[in-house]
Chains A and B, each alone.
Chain A
Amino acid sequence: MKYQVDERGYYGNFGGAYIPEMLYPNVEELRSQYLQIIAQPEFQTEFNELLRAYVGRPTPLYHATRLSEKYNAAIYLKREDLCHTGAHKINNTIGQIILAKRLGKQKIIAETGAGQHGVATATVCALMGMECIVYMGKLDMERQRPNVERMRILGAQVIAAVSGNMTLKDATNEAMRHWINHPTDTHYIIGSVVGPHPYPHMVALFQSVISEEIKKQLQQAIGQPNPDYVIACVGGGSNAAGAFYHYLNEVHVNLVGVEAAGKGVDSGESAATTALGKPGVLHGSKTLLMQTTDGQVIEPYSISAGLDYPGIGPLHSHLFETGRVQFLNATDEEAMQAGIELARTEGIIPAIESAHALAALSKLELTAEDVVVVNLSGRGDKDLETYIRWGKY
């Protein structure tokens, strides 16, 4: 239970609910009911059936033989990129929209960076016939136009966040402001393991299906459920939380989180929170945060819009502090190269977020006996323009 959230909403020194009173009733309504609702058999049936028939779960655990040869280890890819909408994000939005319905909510709001969570939210809103508003930084809307149009095709209203640097952090601020102004009929679907308690725990629960499946699939593939390594990229950290979840207490499984180093950890243009951050409060929880000595949040940078966040979820801060998870980082260049490498060796173009996880393979001292699972959190379709602009292929 060392890595589980406590009754106050903390993971060790991190977490909690640092929210203005105007948000308290919204968050408290959720906190007091989420566990009970999720535990209901009807909830589980609806959730699991949608994951199966609509999302396409279980996603394959694929033994990447050519990549394995290259790194001299048995490498398995957890194919979250094959989920409907192209990334793991939908596991969480399916869970939260069923929860929102049971709480009697009629409207959904969400924030999005790269647009993957926005698309996953717009998708489940269309599926359930609920009104959907997605906040997205104005800059991100320009960088990720196809996803903006996908959300609009799905019937969502996309509102540009024009404060701050006009990226994910600002979109989250605007979504929180919207929730303050619409406290009774609206549910806020946060896309990562961030935000006030119970969000980090709830989102991790919905994503934990990833490691649940890995265990079963590895058992079938190699006769035992535990690999030597699980590797996942960390922006806010939802895919990593899902991939690590059922391995947290399996101490012999090395868990590796890979953050975005941008143009280099010390370049001033990075999103490597564990390397650069200190404990602070943003978006309702106490966590590691990139900030000035005066407590002002520093704008992060990464070539990947999905990792472009100045903090990490409180669970990850705890896993970093306790040393349970080894945190590495990969630069833009390393990630792009790893992305191309996967395309050439396995015929899979990964999302640039997931390419950061792949970039860790060359940083670990792997041996031929090692079984390695890389969580391939998303597909690269949305990143085609970034690949083209990068050009080195």
Chain B
Amino acid sequence: MKNRITELFQHAKKPVLSVFYTAGFPNLNDTGTIATALEAAGADLIEIGIPFSDPVADGPTIQASNKQALDNGMTVELLLKQVAAIRNQVTLPIILMGYVNPVMQYGFERFFTDAANAGVDGLILPDLPLDEYETYRELTTALNLSISFLISPTTSEARIRKIDASSSGFIYAVSASSTTGAKAEFSAEQSEYFAKLKALELKNPFLIGFGVSNYKTYTQVCAHAAGAIVGSSFVKMLSQTKDFDADIKTFITSLTTPK
């Protein structure tokens, strides 16, 4: 069987929209409800965050969602059960994204195996060092899991090439040297960076995230990348909504179509 993420990029006729949210937020069992609503609303990729007590790369919005999810009782074990249930209802590729410690405690091999069995297609572990990952590459390849690493505007070209070689599925390009959080628009300098990335003609397609929050930022990144990742602004909306289906639909539409 082909990896759903690889398939998605191979056949994509428009920019790919990947949506991030924290598992178990706002309520413990909302993880599945949100996934179903995202598929109905037209998202292309679902990125589910594994909550952690100390999310150092995240801004206030996602920090708060992590804390609430943990207070709600979210665990890696429960999340994998939820994903298995989601897999029965959703055909979109599913990515789990999380800090390395909860995965390490669950056990790397066990986590990769159980995630693949639950129907997960890809992983993003931002603080997993490249050389540590090499230890598990054989296993993740056998399990047909894609692994996406991050790059930032301060990442050197040599290192981008190295990360491209280690990554599969896609590369997660961070729009700025920053923690996660919404921005109104990107600067000319950032657009230049996006264009430069495109010119590198990497092996993997790249998605741009951090700061994508509206139609303007969405189109700015899609002009150069294979698509966009939206996180903080979506999580913020989730913290306020009373009607997942309607508000998720509105959110996705307003992001991808001009007013």
Q: Which of A's residues lie within 8 Å of B, judged by CB?
A: 8, 16-22, 24-26, 163-164, 169, 173, 176-177, 180-184, 278-284, 289, 291, 293-297
Contact = CB atoms under 8 A, between A and B. Distances in A.
Given A17-B129, A22-B150, A22-B152, A281 B56 contact: no
A184 B129 CA distance: 22
A25 B59 CA distance: 20
B129 A180 contact: no
Nearest to B56: A176
Given A176-B56, A294-B76, A296-B53, A21 B102 contact: no
A22 B53 contact: no
A39 B57 CA distance: 33
Nearest to A296: B53
A293 B106 CA distance: 8
B56 A283 contact: yes
Q: Which of B53, B104, B128 has the most CB of A within 10 A?
A: B53
Contacts of A180: 56-57, 177-179
Contacts of A182: 177
B154 A183 contact: yes
B70 A296 contact: yes
B126 interface: yes
A384 B99 CA distance: 40
Contact of B150 (A21, A183, A280, A284): A21
A22 B57 contact: yes
Contacts of A24: 152, 154-155, 159
Contacts, number: 110
Given A21-B149, A295-B106, A169 B54 contact: yes
B154 A25 contact: yes
B57 A282 contact: no
B52 A22 contact: no
B52 A20 contact: no
A21 B53 CA distance: 19
Nearest to A18: B127
Interface string B66-104: 010010000111000000000000000000000111111
B129 A18 contact: yes
A100 to B, nearest CB: 18
28 contacts: A8-B131, A16-B129, A20-B56, A21-B150, A22-B152, A22-B174, A22-B177, A24-B159, A25-B156, A163-B63, A163-B67, A164-B53, A164-B67, A173-B55, A177-B56, A177-B58, A180-B56, A181-B177, A183-B154, A184-B177, A278-B105, A283-B54, A284-B127, A294-B102, A294-B106, A295-B106, A296-B53, A297-B54
A234 B145 CA distance: 41
Contacts of B104: 279-281, 295
B4 to A, nearest CB: 25
Contacts of A163: 60, 63, 67
Contacts of A21: 126, 149-152, 155, 163, 174
Contact of B76 (A17, A291, A295): A295
Interface of B: 52-60, 63, 67, 70, 75-77, 99-106, 126-129, 131-132, 149-152, 154-156, 159, 163, 174, 177-179
Nearest to B149: A21
A198 B218 CA distance: 38
Contacts of B163: 21
Nearest to B105: A295
Contact of A280 (B57, B101, B131, B179): B101
Given A24-B155, A173-B56, A180-B57, 9 more contacts: A17-B129, A22-B152, A24-B159, A177-B59, A184-B154, A278-B105, A279-B104, A291-B105, A297-B101
Contacts of A294: 75-77, 102, 105-106
Given A169-B54, A176-B56, A291-B105, A20 B156 contact: no
A19 B105 contact: no
B127 A19 contact: yes
* Of A24, A173, A182, A184, most B-chain CB atoms within 10 Å: A24
Contacts of A284: 127
Contacts of B151: 21
Nearest to A163: B63
Contacts of A183: 154, 177
Nearest to B155: A21
Give the top 4 A-B pairs by smallest Cβ distance, nearest first. Answer: A295-B105, A295-B102, A21-B150, A25-B154
B178 A181 contact: yes
B179 A281 contact: no
Nearest to B70: A296
Contacts of A283: 54, 56
Contact of B101 (A22, A26, A177, A295): A295
B102 A181 contact: no
Contact of B52 (A17, A26, A181, A295): A295
B254 to A, nearest CB: 27
A62 B128 CA distance: 46
Contacts of B178: 22, 180-181
A163 B179 CA distance: 15
Contacts of B179: 22, 177, 180-181
Contacts of B100: 18, 281
A183 B155 CA distance: 11
A280 B67 CA distance: 19
Contacts of B159: 24
Contacts of A279: 104
Contacts of B101: 280-282, 289, 291, 295, 297
Contacts of A278: 105
Contacts of B59: 177
B127 A296 contact: no
> Which of B70, B104, B174 is packed against the most chain A CB atoms within 10 Å?
B104
A167 to B, nearest CB: 12
Given A21-B155, A24-B159, A181-B177, A296 B131 contact: no
Contacts of B103: 295
